[in-house]
Structure 1
Amino acid sequence: MLFSWIFISCFLQIPILLCSYRSSECLVKMNYRLKEKGNVVIIGLFPAFAVYPLNKTTDWSMLKFNKEVMIEFKLRNYQCILAMRFAIEEINSNPYLLPNTSLGFEINNVPHGQRHTLIKLFSSLSGSNYDIPNYISASESNSAAVLTGPSWIISEIIGTLLDLYKFPQLTFGPFDSLLSEQRRFTSLYQVAPKDTSLTHGIVSLILHFHWIWVGLFIIDDDKGAQTLSDLRSEMDKNGVCTAFVEMISVIRGSFLTKSWKNDVQILESSSNVIIIYGDSDSLLSLIVNIKQKLLTWKVWILISQWDVSKFDDYFMIDSLHGALIFSHHREEIPNFTDFMQKSSPSKYPEDTYLHVLWHIFFNCSFVQKDCKIVHNCLPNASLGFLPGNIFDMAMSEESYNVYNAMYAVAHSLHEMILNQVQFQSHENGKKLILFPWQLHPFLRKTQLINQDGTNMVLHHKSKSHVEYDIVNFWNFPKGLGLNVKVGTFSSNAPKGQKLSISSNMIQWATGSTEIPRSVCSESCHPGFRKTHQEGKTACCFDCTPCPENEISNETDMGQCMKCPETHYANPEKIHCLQKTVTFLAYDDTLGKTLCFMSLGFSSLTAAVLGVFLKNRDTPIVKANNSTLSYTLLVTLTLCFLCPLLFIGHPSTATCVLQQNIFGLLFTVALSTVLAKTITVVIAFKITAPGRVRRWLLISRAPNFIIPLCTLLQIFLSGIWLTTSPPFIDKDAHSEHGHIIIICNKGSAIAFHCTLGYLGALALGSYFMAFLSRNLPDTFNEAKFLAFSMLVFCSVWVTFLPVYHSTKGKIMVAMEVFSILASNASLLVIIFAPKCYIILLRPERNSLCYIRDKTHARSKKTFLTPSFCASEIKQHC
């Protein structure tokens, strides 16, 4: 199968090689002037072929056609000649359009060079074969308009001259803003619609296929510069970047381009989509270079002014296969294809071009004298036999414009004749005189309707609706040359419906089976964000994972979205998940443990209180100020229950009570310990009993320390609650995926002042107990008080750094644990020895034991018996 395609491709290329020097000489010598008589003649100037010297220094007047010249056939332009003939024949056969008036035509080839172009025009205007400037023969010339194109250069050269005579000129080439200048070209009309939305259509196509990395080849002239500006503006608005921009220079006034060296960047560029703006004459050298490099993996986006026959080469693979071409939408002209198929040298023997084509492609023999074919022709030969890459039977955009131009002139003539008939009806029998300048008011009408019902706008100050066909160029195997319509772009359609394209119909470049990609950097998947590469365009970027708690749920996101505080990012950083609301609950293992510890220690303290109450008359209970002991035990019982305020769902009430109840109860406990230590110091430091110290001891003045210290703590709490009380807060950051409901301390200064105040009481108690730790007494608890205060201070000194380094539930648990540990130190160290004696060594808790112990100590310390008796009495 592959060899079959290769054979067919090679066969289709054979006719290109058969051009003889004889055919070139015939076209040049015959000068190619095609005429058909009529009441009104339309002059057509077409670049049907061009002759170039092989050596640039050769004198044109001394050329020898078999050795020194090269002829370039422009079959796409010859189709325009056929379209003009077809339109005039159709108009002449219409009895309702131009009755009693026949249209004729005079067609001349526009040779190379400005001088020869003007010579052809003078010859046609003078109505003779002589090129006489400023001479028009009224008897021989009945020209009404001149048709020029497709190059704007030809139209500009001729238009400058015709404007002097106010002679109507219609150009069928692509619309050019230079030719629309009313001050310079008052008699020129452009049939082609203005490309008001071409750049929008191209960018819409690029965005449809997600191509954001595009190269540009633009013709280097005013129109190309304007198109480049419009393209860049439209691309920037839609996030499309240019991989490179190459401006192709063209020699003004010539069909030859400057020497263009293929830029390395077109091969090395990662862009697989390249836009080419310009006509085939101007960019001939560029396309030749592209074809020679066999860049078959690129997607070319072109405009419709292309003559594919120019680009034939001897490669079996075409680099332009799969190109997408923007062409102005046009309706199918009935019978035009049949007309071209029936066009032959036998039907139009005066058309030298047809004789030359039959000689080249169908091996017909020439008569030496007049370059007419006579025999050895392929039977029933037709232009339809030619491969599509040589001659396309489908009507081109320029041919469609020629067809419309003929109808524009015909309608204008029709209305002009009717207008003259109305004013000259009384002069019967007098011949109507038509002057070309009289056509202008009718040509300037807003709309003219051609044969197929299409509205044409020749006055380009009015806005017209432009619609484009998107054509896919199929040229595999080489020579197929099909232009297949795959979509449309309508600037007047609703937003989102302007572009309509059938992707499944598109044949991509050779070797591609799916839609090509054209990006500078591969897309960033969800979970990543784009990071711009310094010094490069916005389309060149790196993909960076989203930061913590941020997501990107779309492709190619420039910034990650931060999840709300109530949500957290999943591991893939694609979705925000709802955080679980949590707190130090009773159901948690940690909450249960602390709860059981709190209740257990509270029950234990209550049991110790019960033991002391039961044994309140024993010496060991009385020896250490039983009232203070009861107060301390009751306070510790409540202190052990205080952690229950920290467990469970926080509320405003619990948040306010937590710290204030904790501070108040601990103040009572520590002030009670301080009172006990002061009592011990006062009792055992009286070596010479005085009235004041004895009064302090007997009146139990140290007990007033408790209300005084408690009132100060109440004052501090009042300030705290007034200025910045605790409140319910949410901690959404401490634990991943959770929102922890906690109590905010409100004023951190007030909280630390409370801790500092408790610390001062603890240090004071420790200092007083430390002073009396070695005083002699049977039940002296100074050592236990000092040690308990030492442990108490150690717990809270350790608590502070740990508390500030933890968050959430652990922080609350640390505070609860510190409360329980500090309370337990007071309970165990102070009351455990007493309970041991009361419960396990009751014999030591008696007056006799105390008397014997005191007597032994009095001898050892040389105290008087009277003091010992008073001490016993005091303690008993």
Structure 2
Amino acid sequence: MVPSEAYQYKGVVHLLHHFRWTWIGLLAMDDDRGNQFLQTIVPILTENSICSAFTFKLPKATYMEEVVEEMTVKLSERYQYLMDRKTNVLFLYGEPPVVTYLRIIFTKVVFTSLTPLSKVWIISSHWDFESLALQNILDMETLHGTLSFTVHSNQLPGFQEFLQTIRPFWAEGDGFIQIFWEQAFGCSLKHKQEDVEEICTGEEKLESLPGTSFEMHMTGYSYNVYNAVYAAAHALHNINIHGSKHRRLAKVGRLDVQNIQPWQLHHCLKRTLFNNSAGESVRFDKNRELVTVFDLTNWLIFPNGSFARVKVGRLDPFAPSDNQLTLNDDRIVWHRGFKEVRCSDWRLILKVQSLLL
């Protein structure tokens, strides 16, 4: 149910061509996934006449203390790469550790003489805001105006009403919701403790929480989980209805799910096609990967730590190849310091400089 990264990279190329951005920097964590990203994306960019000005690898650290120490020692040295004045567009392979690392960089820059970044960020779909205690104290305005291809979502009938019914003791044994409730509302569901001044009533409203803690709209990840459950249900239903020499039925005629092997379910999943309750099609390609739309999201970061996500475009694999990316340019909010630089412009500048020397 995880959309293919390869198709997302095609969308990035469409986006770069649309704005004629041909000179960009690449950032990723220095690990297997980050290195695989760089090995994959550099040839794609080259084939599409896009210049990679530099690759910035963020060192992998096991503990937060190691990250802070690394940035304290090498902040100025590493920051100069990001400050490259020829590069105003940065493409980040945005897994959560990378974003945490960047938050520390941005925060430390505030307390130094270094100039804050004024770049346009393009971030992969792995990235999203997290409910972190550090969210409010780490500078994030540097990412204002970020563009990212996010996992597509749609609002399902009754979802808002469902969220409004959630209470911390709504299901026996659901410890997760109780832990989340205490952290989100800053109270305790147990008897009053010394380090907690307020007791949770259990009637707190999720809609009162800021978006950085909880979003009332269905996110792409939740939408994928919803579709995954129904995809499995449809596959099991088809096994039961159409029959198979490998399935077993209980005496009452119901499917004995415990005797279904994973390979049997997968074989049926690849042929699964259905419309969900939002009216959208759920299907898989020949490689058994989810074929889905990406939303192009513009992230707006405000001084008080809040944010807004605005859909400004759509990447549709079902559309003709020359019309897969649709954009509403007028809705995009750019970082105030953004200036466009074209690859060909800098090639000319460097050539002139070489002639003058």
The alpha-carbon deviation at position 301 of structure 1 amounts to: 0.7
What letter corresponds to residue 329 of structure 1 in structure 2? H
| One-letter amino acid matched to 1:230 | T
- Do residues 220 (structure 1) and 30 (structure 2) align? yes
| Cross-structure match for 2:97 | 281
2:333 to 485, 507, 510: 507
Give distance in 1, aligned partners of 2:349 and 2:293: 38
What are the Cα deviations for residues 339-364 of structure 1, in whole angstroms up to 9, with x where unaligned? 22321214346433333344344354
User: 5 Å matches for 1:812-823?
Assistant: none
Task: For 1:710-729, list aligned pairs within 5 A.
Answer: none
Of 355-364 and 214-223, deviating more is: 355-364
Which residue pairs with 2:324 in the alignment? Answer: 498
Matched, 1:303 2:124: yes
CA distance, structure 1, for counterparts of residue 342 and residue 255 of structure 2: 67
**CA–CA distance in structure 1, aligned partners of residues 185 and 258 of structure 2:** 45
What is the Cα deviation at residue 209 of structure 1? 1.9
For 1:442 and 1:349, how far apart are their aligned partners in 2? Answer: 30
Alpha carbons of structure 1 residues 385 and 467: separation in structure 2 relative to 1, 3 Å: same
Matches within 5 A, 1:563-712: none
Aligned to 1:649: none
Paired with 1:487 and 1:447, the residues of 2 have a C-alpha distance of 29
Q: Name the aligned partner's letter for residue 353 of structure 1.
A: F
* Aligned twin of 1:210: 20
Kindly indicate whether residue 309 of structure 2 is the aligned counterpart of residue 488 of structure 1: no
Q: 1-side partners of 2:254 and 2:151: how far apart? A: 42
Separation (CA, whole Å) in 1 of partners of 2:281 and 2:65: 36
Asked if residue 201 in structure 1 is aligned to residue 25 in structure 2, the reply is no
Deviations 1:404-429 (A, max 9, x none): 2211222233334446799988x855
In structure 1, the residue matched to 2:52 is 242
Output the amino acid matched with 1:233: P
Q: Distance in 2 between matches of 1:406 and 1:482?
A: 29
Structure-1 residue corresponding to 2:113: none
How far apart are residue 296 of structure 1 and its match?
Answer: 4.8
Give the 3-state SS of the residue equivalent to 1:389 in structure 2.
coil
For 2:48 and 2:149, the matched residues in 1 are separated by: 20
Residue 208 (structure 2) pairs with residue 385 (structure 1): yes
Alignment CA distance shift 1:358-1:468 (3 Å): closer
* Distance change in 2, residues 1:343/1:503 (3 Å): same
- 1:468 aligns with one of 277, 294, 297: 294
Of 261, 283, 290, which residue of structure 1 is paired with 2:106?
Answer: 290
Separation in structure 1 between the aligned mates of residue 215 and residue 254 of structure 2, nearest angstrom: 44
Q: In 2, distance between residues paired with 1:360 and 1:222?
A: 33
The answer to whether structure 1 residue 451 and structure 2 residue 276 are counterparts is yes
| 1:87-486 equivalence runs, <5 A | 191-250=1-60, 259=67, 260-261=70-71, 262=75, 263=78, 264-293=80-109, 295-309=116-130, 310=132, 312-314=135-137, 318-348=141-171, 350-368=173-191, 376-377=199-200, 380-418=203-241, 433-438=256-261, 440-445=263-268, 446-448=270-272, 449=274, 451-452=276-277, 453-457=279-283, 461-462=287-288, 465-486=291-312
Residues 424 and 345 of structure 1: CA distance in aligned 2, closer, same or farther (over 3 Å): closer
Cα distance in 2 for partners of 1:441, 1:354 equals 34
Q: Secondary structure at the match of 1:444?
A: helix
1:457, distance to aligned residue in structure 2 (A): 4.6
Cα distance in 1 for partners of 2:118, 2:84 equals 12
* 3-state secondary structure, aligned to 2:56: strand
TM-score under structure 1 length normalisation: 0.34
**Amino acid across the alignment from 1:506:** I
* Deviation at residue 268 of structure 1 after TM alignment: 4.1
Structure 1: 5+ residue runs without aligned partners? 1-190, 524-529, 535-540, 545-876
CA distance in structure 1 between the aligned counterparts of 2:333 and 2:234, rounded to whole angstroms: 42
Structure 1 residue identity aligned to 2:102: L
What percent of counterpart residues are identical? 27
Q: Secondary structure at the match of 2:323?
A: coil
One-letter amino acid matched to 2:164: Q
Q: Structure 1 residue 279: deviation in Å?
A: 0.9
- The separation in 1 between residues aligned to 2:49 and 2:257, in whole angstroms, is 57
What is the distance in 1 between the residues matched to 2:164 and 2:178?
15
| CA distance in 1 between partners of 2:65 and 2:90 (Å) | 20
| 8 Å Cα contact 1:392/1:481 also seen in 2 | no
Read off the aligned partner of 2:35 and give its amino acid letter: A
Post-superposition CA distance 1:84-116 (Å, at most 9, x none): xxxxxxxxxxxxxxxxxxxxxxxxxxxxxxxxx
Secondary structure at the aligned position of 1:488 is classed as strand
8 Å CA contact 1:276, 1:303 repeated in 2: yes
In the TM superposition, 1:477-556 aligns within 5 A as 477-509=303-335, 511-512=336-337, 516-519=339-342, 522=345, 531=348, 533=350
Report how far residue 505 of structure 1 moved: 0.9
Letter in 2 for 1:197: Y
Tell me the secondary structure at the aligned position of residue 312 of structure 1: helix
Relative to structure 1, the CA distance from residue 258 to residue 521 in structure 2 (aligned partners, 3 Å threshold; closer, same or farther) is farther
Classify the secondary structure of the residue corresponding to 1:243: strand
Structure 2 counterpart of 1:272, one-letter code: N
Distance 1:332 1:396 in 2: 9
Equivalences for 1:854-873 in 2 at 5 Å?
A: none
TM-score by length of 2: 0.76
Point out the structure with max Rg over C-alpha.
Answer: 1
Task: State the structure with bigger RCO (CA 8 A, min sep 6), 1 or 2.
Answer: 2
- Mapped to 2, the partners of 1:257 and 1:212 lie a distance apart of 37
Deviations 1:287-336 (A, max 9, x none): 32134325351111112222423461426762212111111333332222
Residues 104 and 138 in structure 2, CA contact (< 8 A), matched pair in contact too: no
Letter in 2 for 1:247: K
Residues 763-842 of structure 1 correspond to what in structure 2 (within 5 A)? none
